[in-house]
Amino acid sequence: SVAHGDWAPGLAYTLDTRVPGGTADEHDVSAVGEADLAGLLSGLRAVPVRQAEALGVPRTAPRSLEALRRMAVHAAERLAAADEFDAARLLQLTPPGAAQLAAQPGTAVLTHHGLTGAHVLVGDDGRVRGVLDWTAAVVGDPAEDIAGLAVAVGSPAAVRAATLAGYGARPCLRGLWLARCDTVVRLTDRLEGRAEGRAEGSLPLLRTRLRRVWEPILLERVTDFAEDDPEP
Q: How far apart are CA 187 and CA 201, in angstroms?
A: 9
Four-point Cα dihedral 67, 72, 78, 84, nearest 10: 180
The tens digit of pLDDT for each residue in 152-194 reads: 999 999 999 999 999 999 999 999 999 999 999 999 999 998 8
Q: Where are the domains of the chain?
A: 21-222
The tens digit of pLDDT for each residue in 91-146 reads: 999 999 999 999 999 999 999 999 999 999 999 999 999 999 999 999 999 999 99
User: Which of the listed CATH numbers 1.10.540, 3.90.1200, 3.40.50, 1.10.600 matches domain 21-222?
Assistant: 3.90.1200
> Strand, coil or helix: what is 138?
strand
pTM for the complete prediction? 0.88
| Whether the Cβ atoms of residue 18 and residue 121 lie closer than 8 Å to each other | no
Within the chain, residue ranges assigned H as helices are 31-46, 49-54, 65-81, 95-100, 143-153, 155-164, 169-191, 197-200, 203-213, 219-222
Helix%, strand%, coil% for the chain, nearest 5 = 50, 10, 40
